């Protein structure tokens, strides 16, 4: 193993040396662009089989790079998956879960006062050691109180919002979501940044695109390596697109948003070529979780997979994923490596010539040997929902220890996470425990998780022999972080001076905020 690691490091040094030289003549590490979509499904791209074929730029990106059909998020909801990407750790380790209920999803709306702990080391903080300048464009979603600001966690620049573009609100009991440039609030969604809920028109993707293009140009002119985290949210409900794209898709408004994203990615890659830095820039495209089928058929597609966002079935966890690095990643490749959004943390550090932190558990793998040499690494994939390990995949086999979609109460009100996909005994509306006899599926033969293996079969027993020790080892070593996403009960809050209400670890934001303000720091 030591010889393999040494060979990999040696090859990487050659790659980095060939990639470009900085002003001092020393090898300059490649730029890193992570393009993170919001609620985009595995089946939304032409290269994954979407029949409308409306993503020519992303399809070309895949043809020029490497496609990952078996790439997973770390959680079926946005905030925890974003924490996982930037820390390289399962959300339960960083506290991005709730103990309000068993196997409950949670994120960071205005009522949540937790966020990314100072003890976590985020990717942009670590990349500073290699001289990177870092910017996040779009949705942060790792906490909206001052101590959680992205510029306090390694980013040098930010244009975007601490939250999603929900609204509009009345600005009394609840304000509209703010938009920031670095520390300064420059407006709010539905006000300075309008979103027309009736027509779906909004110019946000174009604004986010220009932010990305301007940042790339500035860093290239300064000859500095850069990290750009482009985390846009046009495909998250309420879905939006700018006027030139509205009504242009065969798939309705959601397709309009996807087409604008595809066009924007094409412009970003075109700029890299124009600036002659494409061969010195690593680009990775993926999504934070599966498409939100709760809004079906108006939202995205998870292809052949079961259910969607908020569930730990494949439709909620398996994501589109494309790696692009001309001259380094061989064109037209498909890798069957089990990949994870957490791997982007470790891979980015490897690109920068840095080691991951050794004082904590890191769940992400370095994918460079996969992308540069075609190597496959055996690894499990853990499917968490809140604080509960719901399922584990190893190789082709997936074992479910708990199943449920959403509650009967929600379902009776018309909320369905798996519309048109009822699988008896699998897509349950009560939390069903299978820890004694897990439901096991062979994902190669049955990617839709419709036909569990017979518990009397030799194949079932062989699959459990592979998975059981992995689960035992994981659970014995796991140290959960302090939960950050618990919801406070306003009814039991004691009064406190303006600014916050406090009860133990629960802190509530003020009921009203100034029209214009800066984020304290």
Q: Supply the mean pLDDT for the chain.
A: 90
**Residue 13: predicted pLDDT:** 53
Domains identified in the chain and CATH numbers: 31-379 (3.40.720.10), 388-477 (3.30.1120.10)
How close are the terminal C-alpha atoms of the chain, in Å?
Answer: 46
The pLDDT tens digits for 36-79 are 999 999 999 999 999 999 999 999 999 999 999 999 999 999 99
Rounded to whole angstroms, the Cα distance separating 116 from 96 reads: 8
Q: Please tell me which residue, 518 or 94, carries the higher pLDDT value.
A: 94
Is the pLDDT confidence value at 6 over 70?
A: no
CB of 287 within 8 A of CB of 299? no
**Residue 513: predicted pLDDT:** 33
Cα maximum dimension of the chain? 66
Q: Band the pLDDT of 517: cuts 50, 70, 90.
A: very low
The pLDDT tens digits for 393-426 are 999 999 999 999 999 999 999 899 999 999 999 9
Is the pLDDT confidence value at 19 over 60?
A: no
The pLDDT tens digits for 218-241 are 999 999 999 999 999 999 999 999
Rounded to whole angstroms, the Cα distance separating 309 from 311 reads: 6
Residue 141 designated active-site: yes
**Residue 143: predicted pLDDT:** 95
**Residue 142: predicted pLDDT:** 96
3-state helix, strand, coil in the chain (%, to 5): 30, 20, 50
- Please identify which of the residues 102, 141, 149, 307 carries the catalytic annotation: 141
The pLDDT tens digits for 276-318 are 999 999 999 999 999 999 866 668 999 999 999 999 999 999 9
The answer on whether 418 is annotated among ligand-binding residues is no
Is the pLDDT confidence value at 210 over 70?
A: yes
Chain centre distance of CA 85: 6
Q: Which residue has the tokens 């409306």?
A: 54
- Please identify which of the residues 78, 164, 307, 418 carries the catalytic annotation: 78
Residue 433 half-sphere exposure toward CB, CA atoms < 13 A: 4
The answer on whether 233 is annotated among ligand-binding residues is no
Q: Please tell me which residue, 149 or 508, carries the higher pLDDT value.
A: 149
DSSP code of residue 201 = B
Rounded to whole angstroms, the Cα distance separating 369 from 323 reads: 13
Q: Band the pLDDT of 106: cuts 50, 70, 90.
A: confident
Q: Bridge partners of 402?
A: 433
The pLDDT tens digits for 355-400 are 999 999 999 999 999 999 999 999 999 999 999 999 999 999 999 9
Q: Which residue has the tokens 């690494």?
A: 377
Relative to beta strand 226-231, strand 31-37 is: parallel
The answer on whether 164 is annotated among ligand-binding residues is no
CB of 177 within 8 A of CB of 165? yes
Q: Which of 506, 473, 472, 514 is nearest to 489 (CA)?
A: 506
Q: Please tell me which residue, 459 or 7, carries the higher pLDDT value.
A: 459
The answer on whether 59 is annotated among ligand-binding residues is no
The answer on whether 462 is annotated among ligand-binding residues is no
Average pLDDT estimate for 313-328: 98
Residue 78 designated active-site: yes
Is the pLDDT confidence value at 3 over 80?
A: no
Is the pLDDT confidence value at 7 over 70?
A: no
């Amino acid at each position: 193993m030591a010889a393999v690691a040494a060979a990999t490091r040696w090859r990487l040094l050659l790659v980095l040396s060939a990639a470009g030289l900085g002003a001092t003549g020393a090898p300059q590490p490649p730029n890193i662009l992570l393009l993170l979509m919001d609620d985009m499904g595995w089946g939304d791209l032409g290269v994954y089989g979407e029949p409308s074929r409306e993503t020519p730029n992303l399809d070309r990106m895949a043809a020029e790079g490497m496609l990952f059909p078996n790439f997973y998020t770390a959680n079926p909801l946005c905030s925890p998956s974003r924490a996982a990407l930037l820390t390289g750790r399962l959300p339960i380790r960083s506290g991005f879960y709730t103990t309000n209920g068993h196997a409950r999803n949670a994120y960071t709306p205005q009522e949540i006062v937790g966020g990314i702990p100072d003890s976590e080391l985020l990717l942009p903080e670590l990349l500073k050691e290699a001289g990177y300048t870092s910017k996040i464009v779009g949705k942060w979603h790792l906490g909206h109180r001052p101590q959680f600001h992205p510029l306090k966690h390694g980013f040098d620049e930010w244009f975007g919002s601490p939250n999603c573009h929900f609204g509009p609100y009345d600005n009394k009991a609840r304000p509209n979501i703010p938009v920031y440039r670095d520390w300064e609030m420059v407006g709010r969604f539905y006000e300075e940044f309008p979103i027309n809920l009736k027509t779906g028109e909004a110019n946000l993707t174009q604004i986010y695109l220009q932010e990305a293009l301007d940042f790339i140009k500035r860093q290239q002119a300064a000859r500095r390596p850069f990290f750009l985290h482009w985390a846009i949210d046009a495909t998250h409900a309420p879905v939006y697109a700018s006027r030139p794209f509205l009504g242009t898709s065969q798939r309705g408004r959601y397709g309009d948003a996807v087409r604008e994203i595809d066009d924007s990615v094409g412009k970003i890659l075109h700029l890299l070529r124009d600036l002659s830095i494409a061969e010195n820039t690593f680009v990775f495209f993926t999504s934070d979780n599966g498409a939100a089928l709760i809004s079906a058929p108006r939202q995205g597609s998870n292809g052949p997979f079961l259910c969607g966002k908020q569930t730990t079935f494949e439709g909620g966890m398996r994501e589109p994923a494309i790696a692009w690095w001309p001259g380094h990643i061989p064109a037209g490749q498909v890798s069957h490596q089990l990949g994870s959004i957490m791997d982007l943390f470790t891979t980015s550090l490897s690109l920068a010539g840095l080691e991951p932190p050794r004082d904590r558990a890191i769940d992400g793998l370095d994918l460079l040997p996969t992308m540069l040499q075609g190597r496959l690494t055996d690894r499990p994939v853990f499917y968490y929902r809140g604080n509960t390990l719901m399922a584990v995949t190893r190789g082709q086999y997936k074992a479910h220890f708990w199943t449920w979609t959403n509650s009967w109460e929600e379902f009776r009100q018309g909320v369905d996470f798996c519309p048109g996909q009822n699988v008896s005994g699998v897509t349950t509306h009560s939390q069903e425990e299978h820890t004694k006899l897990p439901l096991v599926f062979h994902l190669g033969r049955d990617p839709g998780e419709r036909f569990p293996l017979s518990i009397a079969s030799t194949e079932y027993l062989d699959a459990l022999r592979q998975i059981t020790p992995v689960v035992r080892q994981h659970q014995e070593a796991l140290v959960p972080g302090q939960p950050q996403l618990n919801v406070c009960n306003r009814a039991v809050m004691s009064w406190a001076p303006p600014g916050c209400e406090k009860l133990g670890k629960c802190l509530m934001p003020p009921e009203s905020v100034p029209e214009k303000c800066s984020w304290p720091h």
